[in-house]
Amino acid sequence: MQSILGVVSLLLLVAQLLLIARAVLDWSVALAGPAPSTSIRSRLSSGVHAVTEPVLAPVRRVLPPVRFRSVAIDLSFIVVFLAIVLVRALIS
């Protein structure tokens, strides 16, 4: 049973790291501008989005982004990230 919880914790850690990578890549687009479609950053961003979007999209449908003037805060990212942190803390 302990080994199963260890594997689940490891998978959740990988999900956390992918979410952090998504945030960093999204901010890099905001700060440095869009990358050419053949660049490493663009390919990494596409890959990370493809992996994380199936998890974030259902939460986003229930909890839409909050808008403050021209800025939108994606609450789905925050909710999923905190849920992963909570589950990892409970199984550790």
- What is the reported pLDDT for 32? 80
Half-sphere exposure of residue 30: CA atoms within 13 angstroms, side-chain side: 7
Q: Residue 33: which domain range?
A: 2-91
Give this prediction's pTM.
Answer: 0.87
**Weakest-pLDDT range from 20-24, 31-35, 78-82:** 31-35
CA distances from 47 to 16, 22, 60 (A): 15, 9, 19
The token pair that represents 13 in the structure block: 């850690």
Q: Which residue has the higher pLDDT, 75 or 30?
A: 75
The token pair that represents 91 in the structure block: 């199984």
Mean pLDDT of 8-30: 93
The Cα–Cα gap between 34 and 63 comes to: 27
Total tally of structural domains belonging to the chain: 1
Cβ atoms of 65 and 74 within 8 Å: the answer is yes
